[in-house]
Structure 1
Amino acid sequence: MAFTVNAVIPVEELIAAAHELSITGRWERASRLLDACTADEPGPRARIARAAAQVALEQDWFAGTDTATVRIEVAEKEFPGGDWDVDFARLRNTYRRLLVVDGRLRLGPGGKDPAALAFLLREAEGLRDGAMDEGRRGWAEMYLGLITDNHFADLAGAPPHYASALRAAESDDDPLLAREALRHLGDHDHDAGDHARALDRWRRATTLGAAAGTVPGTLAQQLLLAVLARDSGDEAGARALATEVERWAGAIGAPRLAAQARGFLAGVDPTAPPAESGP
């Protein structure tokens, strides 16, 4: 028997609860929570729609689904005058859809529409320049780095964006942004052969992600620590870490991360660029 409970919940508490569920990998639960709530006033209704789009983005990235586009369109209708956060959600979704094709990463510009990539970069620059606070500016800088890195293969141009994002994260006390910036700065340290600095940054990123409650993000960091363990000659430790990452990722419904861990166990370096752009 189903019961309906009418309760007055502050919208900020509702959104915070959905966010915490989302970063732990409980995306469907977070979406159902938001969908179950109704708001008569346009402001709260718009904020709930925006939060639902943000949850869908997290789910699509880790679970390999494709739910964010519709959610973002709904949120855009709730903000007829425009909204920075919804625009940023659209940017993140476009970035992902250009990067992950048929479940596989397509790094670099090969096989992609140059006009679409140039537009994506301009959108990120516009969001950075139009950000109303340091935290949002930092997230826009983070995506400028990711676009520069992963879509344009500009390995020298990306780290300054990550460094700027890290400064913003520290100023705004945003552990999730700091984790992202440290993760990708560590990638560049690793590629340059500076494994000590990569280890320091990746350990800090792992700690920040765990403290913030991001289960899939922390597992992704653990896989990078496994990479460094293998690089240092600790194959047993590397395999032990990767085995647990694969087990946990499968359990929470993050198939792409689980596949990366299986690939690592088979000898694939998940940090290595592909031999050529494209699938």
Structure 2
Amino acid sequence: MPSTANAVVPVEELIAAAQELSVSGRWRRAARLLDTCTSDTPDARARIARAAAQVALEQDWFAGTDTATARIETAEKEFPGGDWDVDLARLRNTYRRLLVVDGRLRLGPDGKDPESLASLRREAEALRDSAPDEGRRGWAEMYLGLITDNHFADLAGAPPHYASALRAAESVEDPLLAREALRHLGDHDHDAGDHALALDRWRRATTLGAAAGTVPGTLSQLLLLGVLARDSGDEAGARALATEVAHWAGAVGAPRLEAQARGFLAGVDPTAPPAESGP
């Protein structure tokens, strides 16, 4: 009989594997992998709990689930003295819960508690100012831009935050952060009518996302390229892209993205900006 042995895999390798699964859209597999990890070391348990919260955030965004809140609360208990990354996870979750209600995006400040929005922006600023390194500062800056853009409808105030996030991403070679920043900078280029610059940024974002292995993120970028195809008069090309995005999004379990693609096929512009807020 062949002998068997228990392999000991370092916690950092398990977490890295779970993160790669999550980026590729295999959120449930990533969560199961982390849930099977056991450790008697408080530090390892805390890192695993934090990684599980980050996986849950990705799943909730693309799959339309609501799993992150409980995971974040668990992670917070493992870091009684506080942790910057867990704080960012909580901010991201609050941002999402205020933005996506019953599966629909609620852009702009209308119908939202002003103090909740102000508190969210203050938290993002505090995370930016207390970030332990340039990469994390870039992610906080990215979310500060998203909050400014999508909750306050401050269409002039958001791009500088995205540009700062992009500089941070390039300095630390973080392709996922660079993809996010380019995606949203391209949104503003498109809204301003600069389709050439939007195409350049969206193509770069698509390439970076694909290289980093983000399947749902790459599909969302392809839909934006479909927007530009429609804008240029290539309706057949736009519909072909959106049709494939819808099929793929459904296959990988990203229903919100699938709905966006099917909405695009029905004539909805997924890049339409929120209404400007009043004075």
TM-score range, shorter chain: over 0.9
Q: 1:1-279 to 2 correspondence within 5 Å?
A: 6-273=6-273
Amino acid at match of 1:254: A
- Distance in 1 (alpha carbons) for counterparts of 2:212 and 2:149: 25
**What secondary structure is seen at the aligned counterpart in 1 of 2:107?**
coil
**What secondary structure is seen at the aligned counterpart in 1 of 2:223?**
helix
- Give yes or no for contact 2:141–2:162 (8 Å, CA) kept in 1: yes
Q: List structure 1 runs of 4+ shifted beyond 2 angstroms.
A: 4-7, 273-277
- Distance in 1 (alpha carbons) for counterparts of 2:36 and 2:143: 32
Amino acid at match of 1:128: R
Amino acid at match of 1:266: A
Amino acid at match of 1:66: D
**What secondary structure is seen at the aligned counterpart in 2 of 1:66?**
coil
| 1:114-142 C-alpha deviation (Å, 9 max, x unpaired) | 01000000000000000010000000000
- Give yes or no for contact 2:91–2:124 (8 Å, CA) kept in 1: yes
TM-score by length of 1: 0.96
Task: State percent identity of aligned pairs.
Answer: 88
- Give yes or no for contact 2:154–2:276 (8 Å, CA) kept in 1: no
**What secondary structure is seen at the aligned counterpart in 2 of 1:156?**
coil
Q: Are residues 77 and 62 of structure 1, via their aligned partners in 2, closer, same or farther at CA, if it must alter by over 3 Å?
A: same
Number of equivalent positions: 274
| 1:140-165 C-alpha deviation (Å, 9 max, x unpaired) | 00000000000000000000000000
Amino acid at match of 2:67: T
| 1:95-121 C-alpha deviation (Å, 9 max, x unpaired) | 000000000000000000001000000
**What secondary structure is seen at the aligned counterpart in 2 of 1:126?**
helix
- How many Å apart are 1:8 and its aligned residue? 1.2
Structure 1, unaligned runs of 5 or more? none
- Distance in 2 (alpha carbons) for counterparts of 1:263 and 1:183: 20
- Give yes or no for contact 2:153–2:275 (8 Å, CA) kept in 1: no
TM-score by length of 2: 0.96
- Distance in 2 (alpha carbons) for counterparts of 1:225 and 1:244: 12
- Give yes or no for contact 2:175–2:209 (8 Å, CA) kept in 1: yes
Q: Are residues 131 and 275 of structure 1, via their aligned partners in 2, closer, same or farther at CA, if it must alter by over 3 Å?
A: closer
Q: Are residues 275 and 262 of structure 1, via their aligned partners in 2, closer, same or farther at CA, if it must alter by over 3 Å?
A: farther
Structure 2, unaligned runs of 5 or more? none
- Distance in 1 (alpha carbons) for counterparts of 2:130 and 2:246: 40
- Distance in 1 (alpha carbons) for counterparts of 2:187 and 2:127: 25
